[in-house]
Amino acid sequence: MQDNMMGKPNALKQVNLSYVRRAIMEKGSATRAEIVDATKISTTTVRTLLTEMQANNELVEVGFDDSIGGRKATRYQLNAERFFGAAFCLDGADIRYLTVNIRGEICDMGTFAGGENAAAAICDFLDELTATVEIRSIGIGVPGVVSGMSYARKNAEGAFENFPIGKIIGSRYGVPVILENDLNAIALGFGRCYLKTFPEEQCEDTNMAYLHFDEDCLSAGFFSGGRILRGQHHFAGELGLFPVSDTQTLDELLASPLDNHAYADLVARIVAGICCMLNPQYVALGGEAFRRDCLPLITECFSGTLPSKMSAEILYAEDPWHDYFGGMAYLTAEQIFADVRLVKE
């Protein structure tokens, strides 16, 4: 690291600060010795950085460790009220916003009009927000195919249209920006909420598929080991485009007049297909168009369909917006200290 940064003392300092911040954040709180051990940065440099961070109101002291013969070691924690992230969820003509702290906790939320230009509307909002709050990362959830800092979705004519929203916002504010497909964020939020509810389950061992039923499409996201599984273009699984015959897609079949038994049987078959391909531990079902009252029937139809080692437990996702917010809050907070990256020269 230091070889690459020779002659660039300010760049080296910023890298070291990034490592120290991450070490404290990952541990929750840490002593100077623990930070030195985690970062491999010299004791003198860590002492200097901690002093500067305290002067900048980045740290709070949360007590002392027991003495082993010398002075008691001060334990430090990052100040959750110092740096924030801003997340945005595009929702038709409206944009929903969140401000989050370094722990991923939502501090504020609301809605504002997106108008015809979502990027301009977000910039107007951020111009006001950054006048009073130090924003260190920006997350944007979008209903489309993500490619770098742009996303594409179909317009009224059925053709894909590209929106470089992440590039516009990133160049204006100079902080890390993450663009995420909405279903990926929903699946991540649901998965993380589930693990908080059942902390005895190990995150790295949990695999989950999330199926989202909208009025006009069936989509999916996949959560494994605490992370979202992303395809080549980062979008969630567009299951509704799967052809079920020469003339009909799965979306069209779901939109046809199905009674509850036919609907439950179809959804159970979809779940079985997901299990055969990905072998998830859980399959969560949700979305505005999902028939909640059919859940027991779906579970009954699915039961015994597959061998036990290929089967999954079916869950119900009650509030997709709650999950969406949770996923975007986590992703945005994760980027707050991601502004320094090492690049091999």
Q: Are strands 177-181 and 135-142 parallel, antiparallel or unpaired?
A: parallel
- DSSP-derived secondary structure for 56-82: TT-EEEEEEPPPSSSSPPEEEEE-TTT
pLDDT tens for residues 91-114? Answer: 888 999 999 998 889 999 999 998
Q: Under a CB-based contact definition with an 8 Å cutoff, are residues 338 and 139 in contact?
A: no
| pLDDT bracket for residue 2 (50, 70, 90) | very low
Which two three-digit tokens encode residue 33?
Answer: 């010795």
Give the model confidence (pLDDT) of 149-187 as tens digits: 888 887 777 677 888 999 999 999 989 999 999 999 999
Measure the CA–CA gap between 270 and 46, rounded to whole angstroms: 54
Which phi-psi region, left, alpha or beta, contains residue 97 (left: φ > 0; alpha: ψ -120 to 50)? beta
- Say if residues 83 and 336 touch (Cβ distance below 8 Å): yes
Say what the pTM is. Answer: 0.83
> Is the pLDDT confidence value at 343 over 50?
no
Span of 2-11, 33-42, 258-267 with lowest mean pLDDT: 2-11
CB 292 within 8 A of CB 314: no
Q: Please name the residues in contact with 6: beta carbons below 8 A apart, sequence gap of 6 or more.
A: none
Say how far apart CA 189 and CA 174 lie, in whole Å.
26
Average pLDDT over all residues of the chain: 87
177 contacts 170 by C-beta, under 8 angstroms: yes
What are 183-218's pLDDT values in tens digits? 999 999 998 888 888 888 877 778 899 999 988 889
Angle at 41 between CA 104 and CA 33, to 5 degrees: 75
Which range, of 72-81, 161-170, 225-234, 260-269, averages the lowest pLDDT? 225-234
Better-scored residue on pLDDT, 256 or 70? 256
